[in-house]
Amino acid sequence: MTPAAAGLHERLAGLELVVFDKDGTLIEFHAMWGGWVADLADRLEAAAGRPLRGELYRAIGFDGTTGRADPHGGLAAMPMAVLRRFAVDVVVEAGLARPVAEAAVGRAWHAPDPVALARPTADLGRLFAALRQAGTRVAVATSDDRDPTERTLAALGIAALVDATVCADDGLPVKPDPAMVLHLCASLGAAVARTAVVGDSASDMRMGRGAGAGLCIGVLSGTSTADELEPFADLVLPSVAELLAAEG
């Protein structure tokens, strides 16, 4: 084992590529999305002129009492475009005509600040550098859109350490479809069997399994519990920090 590889979890030895989810895996999910949902509810109620908070929370999978996302709900896994359609449907069900509902959502809709709200779950610069020094490429596959994803990676200072990124608005089928992983492997020339997928949701693990990834690693830093990840994961860790071997 090389010195660089010795700084990594033993299960990563010999891999050509590690594909990371973003929200809940590289950055804290609830710090990014919890406040955004509450703010969206405020704006949407003002724009539509009627109470919608409870229905909006139910539609997108958010618990307003705990401030946490449902691991099986839309907020945890769906692209922004899908969440926006959910919001329009909520307003329509509240009694507004669809064109009026779409206009109300248009006035209320906004994306979370990808710079101010991004809190890394580990020393990502050290982790990504260790992977690259060991000859392993790094990629990101996310259900978020490309612009906020690129801004987040840049703000965290790790954009130059990421070899490729696939986002929800790139035109590929989204998780749990294996297309994102297969696309990354093909574009980077990495064997799928020597690729690891790391994520905080069952959708991430199912994506990796469907692609034939050699290793699927679940992390508990996001929306899912160990019980939800273990049926699909080869390994479940508290966070991506554990991918770095402890220094002796």
Asked if residue 100 and residue 153 are part of one domain, the reply reads: no
Q: Please give the pLDDT value at position 248.
A: 33
If one counts the domains in the chain, the total is: 2
- Terminal Cα distance for the chain, rounded: 16
Give the pLDDT confidence score for residue 31 in this predicted structure: 86
Q: What is the pLDDT of residue 246?
A: 52
Looking up residue 207, the CATH number of its domain turns out to be: 3.40.50.1000
The Cα 193–Cα 173 span in angstroms is 21
Residues 184 and 219 in one domain: yes
Alpha helices in 63-111 (DSSP H): 74-77, 80-93, 98-108
Token pair recorded at residue 201 = 């949701």
Q: Cα dihedral sign for 133, 14, 217, 209?
A: positive
Please indicate, yes or no, whether residues 8 and 83 belong to a single structural domain of this protein: no
> How many CB atoms are located within 10 Å of the residue 26 CB?
30
Same domain assignment for residues 193 and 126: yes
Same domain, 132 and 154: yes
Whether 129 and 18 map to the same domain: the answer is: yes
Query: Distance of CA 197 to CAs 36, 127, 247, Å?
Result: 27, 15, 24
Considering the domain architecture, whether residues 94 and 122 belong to the same structural domain is answered as: no
pTM of the model: 0.87
In a domain, 113, yes or no: no
Tell which of 46, 79, 108 closes a domain.
108
> Are residues 86 and 207 located together in one domain of the fold?
no
**Cβ atoms < 10 Å from Cβ of 86:** 19
- The CA-based angle 152-156-161, given to 5 degrees, is 95
Can you give the pLDDT at residue 50? 94
Domain assignment present for residue 48? The answer is yes
Answer yes or no: do 37 and 69 share one domain.
yes
Residue 7 domain flag:
yes
Length of the chain: 248
16 and 126 belong to one structural domain:
yes
Instruction: State which residues form the domain around 171.
Output: 3-27+118-243
The residue among 86, 108, 130 that closes a domain is: 108
pLDDT of the chain, 248 residues: tens digit per residue: 444 455 899 999 999 999 999 999 999 988 888 889 999 999 999 999 999 999 999 999 999 888 888 888 899 888 889 999 999 999 999 999 999 999 999 999 998 888 888 999 999 999 999 999 999 999 999 999 999 999 999 999 999 999 999 999 999 999 999 999 999 999 999 999 999 999 999 999 999 999 999 999 999 999 899 999 999 999 999 999 999 975 43
Token representation of residue 101: 């509902």
Q: Is 205 within the bounds of a domain?
A: yes
Element (H, E) at 224: none
Q: Report the alpha-carbon distance of residue 95 to residue 7 in Å, rounded.
A: 58
| Same structural domain, 159 and 197 | yes
